[in-house]
Amino acid sequence: MSALPGSAEGAATTGLVDSPVQPAPADLPPLTEQTRLEAREIMARYPQPRSALLPMLHLVQSYQGYVSPEGVALCAEELGLTKAEVGAVATFYTMYKRRPTGRHIVSVCTNTLCAVLGGQRIMDALAADLGVHHDETAADGSVTLEHAECLAACDYAPVVTVDYEFYDQQDVESARALVAALRRGEKPLPTRGAPLTDFRGVSRQLAGFSQHADAGAARAAVDAPGEWGPTLAGVRLAAERGEAAPPMDGPEPQPADAGEPADTVAPSGDAGQTPEKEAADARVAAADNPAERAGAAQTHPDRGTEYGRRTPGGSRPTPDTPAGTEPGTSGQGPATREA
């Protein structure tokens, strides 16, 4: 990622409101005190506040439709980060938009299978209809078009998503009809998943807040019907034909490893040996190679030279060197001994 002066990436990275980029639309809503309160509510969900950055960026998008310089500044202030740190995250993930978007984000999969089945033709046709290229917004503000590397729905190819909701098995004409309906203000039902809202609404959902007006609408979205035919086609055909996978030939499955050699689970009663030391001895003895032996030695209570353990400097620990003070041990300097 490059953040060149005058680019949308540069504005997001620096967080400067005077960066020479595409100006914000006149109707861009400001980030209010309510936005800050919701940001702090997100922060309260995490043991470390900075872990809240990803949903907070979605929150900014839910208000303004993209990660604006103002949004970068808000996240930085609330989390105690620099604008550059926030911008580095905002410019890494493609779900964070760096310029104003339309009401809807239309993503066309152009990866291998979708491309072979017509995904690139769909992308080209929609770009021509809208008069835009990748990551650009139609002049009427209705749709932002982007190509997607993979939408993880190869069994439904070619696939288009609108605000991350799936419209499966598309072709040029069906995709053009879908986008035309969006531009008229309609919201065609997805093939599967929740009913369509808009990009700001789904950004609010990704921030961890409901995008729906009430609990009933939220339940209806969760319970929306879906078409699963292509995914289950193989199962259906196998049942119709009475087919099943043949049994796998091979050795009998071994019992799960309990983590200890069987003959050392119970103490032997040897004088001076605790169960922990007996188990550690057995792990070292059972090691098949030097790497395993070294790993087993690291956890042995004695950690002595008889287990092949060397200090990072190459010397072996002496009997009167307290554990944890060998040279190179984290937080310790060179070992010292009383004269």
Q: Is the pLDDT of residue 259 over 80?
A: no
Question: Could you report the per-residue pLDDT of 113-134, keeping only the tens digit for each?
Answer: 999 999 999 999 999 999 999 9
Distance CA 188, CA 179 (A): 10
Token code pair at residue 309: 């353990």
Averaged pLDDT, 103-117: 95
Q: Is the pLDDT of residue 37 over 90?
A: yes
* Helix, strand or coil, per DSSP, at residue 162: strand
114 and 70: one domain? no
Confidence of residue 261 (pLDDT cuts 50, 70, 90): low
Find out whether 7 and 21 touch, Cβ atoms under 8 Å.
Answer: yes
86 and 126: one domain? no
What is the domain range of residue 67?
Answer: 19-92
Phi and psi torsions of 158, nearest 5°: -75, 145
The last residue of one of the domains, among 198, 233, 261, is 198
pLDDT of amino acid 65: 93
139 lies in a domain?
yes
Percent of residues, the chain, with pLDDT higher than 90? 49
123 and 178: one domain? yes
Bigger pLDDT: 79 or 322?
79
78 and 113: one domain? no
Residue 243: partners with Cβ closer than 8 Å, 6 or more residues away: 237
Half-sphere exposure of 214 (CA within 13 A, CB side): 1
What is the number of other CB atoms lying within 10 angstroms of the CB of residue 199? 23
CATH number at residue 170: 3.40.30.10
56 lies in a domain?
yes
65 lies in a domain?
yes
pLDDT of amino acid 26: 73
24 lies in a domain?
yes
Average pLDDT over the chain, rounded to whole? 80
pLDDT of amino acid 217: 76
Question: Could you report the per-residue pLDDT of 207-243, keeping only the tens digit for each?
Answer: 999 887 778 777 777 777 776 777 788 888 888 888 8
Distance CA 194, CA 101 (A): 21
Q: Is the pLDDT of residue 255 over 70?
A: no
88 and 119: one domain? no
Averaged pLDDT, 302-320: 49
Confidence of residue 202 (pLDDT cuts 50, 70, 90): very high
Confidence of residue 260 (pLDDT cuts 50, 70, 90): low
CATH number at residue 35: 1.10.10
139 and 184: one domain? yes
Q: Is the pLDDT of residue 16 over 80?
A: no
Q: Is the pLDDT of residue 3 over 90?
A: no
Where does the chain have alpha helices with state H? 8-14, 33-43, 53-64, 69-79, 83-90, 112-116, 119-130, 172-183, 199-206, 215-222, 229-241, 275-286, 290-298
Find out whether 57 and 89 touch, Cβ atoms under 8 Å.
Answer: yes
pLDDT of amino acid 223: 72
Distance CA 181, CA 179 (A): 5
Question: Could you report the per-residue pLDDT of 291-300, keeping only the tens digit for each?
Answer: 777 777 777 7
pTM: 0.64
125 and 194: one domain? yes
The last residue of one of the domains, among 55, 70, 92, is 92
How buried is 246 (Cβ within 10 angstroms: 0-12 exposed, 13-18 middle, 19+ buried)? Answer: exposed
pLDDT of amino acid 210: 86
Beta bridge partners of 145: 106, 136
78, 17, 70: which is closest to 42 by C-alpha? 78
The last residue of one of the domains, among 69, 92, 115, is 92
72 and 157: one domain? no
DSSP 267: -
Confidence of residue 165 (pLDDT cuts 50, 70, 90): very high
- Buried residues in 8-36 as b, exposed as e (16+ CB within 10 A): bbbbbbbbbeebebeebeeeeeebeeebe
Token code pair at residue 74: 């808000």
Three-state secondary structure along 218-244?
HHHHHCCCCCCHHHHHHHHHHHHHCCC
Three-state secondary structure along 38-91?
HHHHHHCCCCCHHHHHHHHHHHHHHHHCCCCHHHHHHHHHHHCCCHHHHHHHHC
Question: Could you report the per-residue pLDDT of 148-164, keeping only the tens digit for each?
Answer: 989 999 999 999 999 99
Bigger pLDDT: 49 or 324?
49
